């Protein structure tokens, strides 16, 4: 398949309206979401580590693990892909290497955060952050490493949970001054805090909508009114898919058959179409061997 160059997220952010980016965690979810007309897709670290390695998003996945997933997803997607880059996978030279690798793989943006290594999922307890100046250096290195300004750098701070909102806002401003293209203040705990974040900067802001997480899940109109420009829904589809699989497996275990399963099932023909079997069959028709 021909590699796409989805460097259009910057252009989209120059137009009005909230950029809605659903989470994609594997190649099936990528294929499905990519055909639906979203402005962007979000390669969730939580979901990608879970689906690819079967492990928690706790700094276990390596740069190699993740850049391979970025490459696979971005090479297939027509939609700009925002990719979770954790803390940059090590020291400053690792940050530079990660930025170059994600950009070469075809991502439209990399998300870097100010957690200590090993990082943790943003809506879980016990997260620790590095000194502000350390993250400022990460951002400066990231800007220096990228080859095009169309490859966007999202600076995320996880300071709210342990150090409070005021410290998170101070950090966000420092990261803006360091040259971040987009700011991501993780896990505000009320609508009032979200409004304070919206008033704090002129840069595009990311809202992280995690069902069951620390932040209220708001409507599109409310997020836009607060001042957010991008809304990511990193695990919504994964939660839905896992619940459906759990119910399906439980039915098969109890009944010994899939007959009568109550979970809605995609038609098998639709799944084969989604995965590209029609292209395979057309190829075989055009290149059929005659004996």
Q: CA 63 from chain center: how many Å?
A: 15
DSSP per-residue codes, 223-257:
HHHHT-SEEEETTHHHHHHHHHHHHHHHHHHHHSS
pLDDT in tens, 121-153: 656 666 899 999 999 999 999 999 999 999 999
Q: Give residue-wise pLDDT tens across range 35-66.
A: 999 999 999 999 999 999 999 988 889 999 99
Please give the average pLDDT of every successive group of 10 residues along the chain, which has 291 residues. 56 95 98 96 96 90 96 97 96 97 98 86 75 98 97 97 96 98 97 97 97 95 98 97 97 96 95 93 85 55
Contacts of 254 (CB under 8 A, 6+ apart): none
What is the CA angle 55-44-229, rounded to 5? Answer: 155
Strand-strand pairing, 81-84 and 109-113: parallel
> Could you tell me if 74 and 107 are in contact, meaning their C-beta atoms sit under 8 angstroms apart?
yes
- Residue 101, Cβ neighbours under 10 Å: how many? 21
What domains are there in the chain, each with its CATH number?
Answer: 9-241 (3.20.20.60)
Neighbours of 281 (CB within 10 A): 11
In the prediction, which pLDDT does 4 show?
A: 42
């Amino acid at each position: 398949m021909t590699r796409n160059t989805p460097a259009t997220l910057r252009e989209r952010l120059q137009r009005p309206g909230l950029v809605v980016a659903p989470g994609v965690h594997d190649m099936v979810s990528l294929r499905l979401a990519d055909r639906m007309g979203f402005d962007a897709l979000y390669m969730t670290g939580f979901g990608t580590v879970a689906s690819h390695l079967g492990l928690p998003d706790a700094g276990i996945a390596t740069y190699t693990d993740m850049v391979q997933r970025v490459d696979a997803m971005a090479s297939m997607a027509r939609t700009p892909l925002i990719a979770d880059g954790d803390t940059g996978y090590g020291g400053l030279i690792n940050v530079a290497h990660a930025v170059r690798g994600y950009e070469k793989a075809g991502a439209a943006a990399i998300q870097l955060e100010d957690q200590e290594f090993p990082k943790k999922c943003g809506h879980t307890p016990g997260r620790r952050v590095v000194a502000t100046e350390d993250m400022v250096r990460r951002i400066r290195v990231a800007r220096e490493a990228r080859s095009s300004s169309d490859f966007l750098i999202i600076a995320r701070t996880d300071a709210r949970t342990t150090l409070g909102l005021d410290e998170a806002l101070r950090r966000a401003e420092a990261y803006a001054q360091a040259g971040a293209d987009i700011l991501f203040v993780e896990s505000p705990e009320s609508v009032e805090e979200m409004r304070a974040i919206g008033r704090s900067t002129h840069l595009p802001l990311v809202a992280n909508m995690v069902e069951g997480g620390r932040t209220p899940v708001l409507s599109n109109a409310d997020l836009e009114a607060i001042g957010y420009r991008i809304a990511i829904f990193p695990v919504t589809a994964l939660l839905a898919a896992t619940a459906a699989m759990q119910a399906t497996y439980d039915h098969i275990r109890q009944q010994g058959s899939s007959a009568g399963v109550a979970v809605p099932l995609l038609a098998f023909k639709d799944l084969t179409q989604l995965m590209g079997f029609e292209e395979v069959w057309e190829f075989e028709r055009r290149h059929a061997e005659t004996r």
